[in-house]
Amino acid sequence: MRKKLLSGLALTAAAAVVLIFASPSYRQGEPSVAGKRAPDFSFEWNGNPARLDDLRGKVLVLNFWATWCPPCVAEMASLNRLHRRIASQGGLVLGISVDEDAATYERFLREQQVSFPTYRDPSKKISSRYGTSMYPETYLIDRSGHIARKIIGPQDWDNPDLVGYLQSMLRTN
């Protein structure tokens, strides 16, 4: 009986360690990326080649996501609303999907009526440049191309604190 109890405790402890290391909050100890230049990358926008640096002068909400990620799906509607809210003020939500299946990605965009620009990066090269391995993960990038804030995990983009933070970024030249 004692042996079974110890085995059960050992398995529970091992599972707890795995959950802690897999948890996004564990990554909060990473060195801050705030103030660093956002890594440039190439992508396609409206069928044309573009680079992140081409968007300098805009406040960017760079969101890494996937259709198979339930928290990513959950925040999609509020990202749509955020994009509509900030677009006229020089803001832009840019989604980078790591989906491998193009048909699933395209169907998702139609069904969810995604209104902000997105780019599918099945190779995960862009997310890798940013150090992103868990989704969703978002970078708020100021008009000069520097990372103002990194946000790990899903957000309610209608949250007054987040909206206020972005509004302050939009007012800054």
Mention every residue, 6+ apart, whose C-beta is less than 8 A from residue 148.
34, 140, 141, 142, 169
**Class of domain 33-171 (CATH, top level):** alpha beta
Q: What is the pLDDT of residue 68?
A: 96
**What's the chain's average pLDDT?**
87
pLDDT band at 21 (very low <50, low <70, confident <90, very high): very low
16/31 Cα distance (integer angstroms): 24
Please, what sign has the CA dihedral across residues 91, 97, 101, 107?
Answer: negative
Q: What is the pLDDT of residue 7?
A: 62
* 0.85 surpassed by pTM: no
Condensed to tens digits (0 to 9), the pLDDT of residues 28-42 reads: 445 578 889 999 999
pLDDT higher than 90, residue 47: no
Condensed to tens digits (0 to 9), the pLDDT of residues 143-157 reads: 999 999 999 999 999
Rounded mean pLDDT of 7-12?
Answer: 58
Domain residue limits, the chain: 1-30, 33-171
| Least confident among 5-19, 103-117, 157-171 | 5-19
Could you write out the three-class secondary structure of 51-84?
EHHHHCCCEEEEEEECCCCHHHHHHHHHHHHHHH
pLDDT higher than 90, residue 111: yes
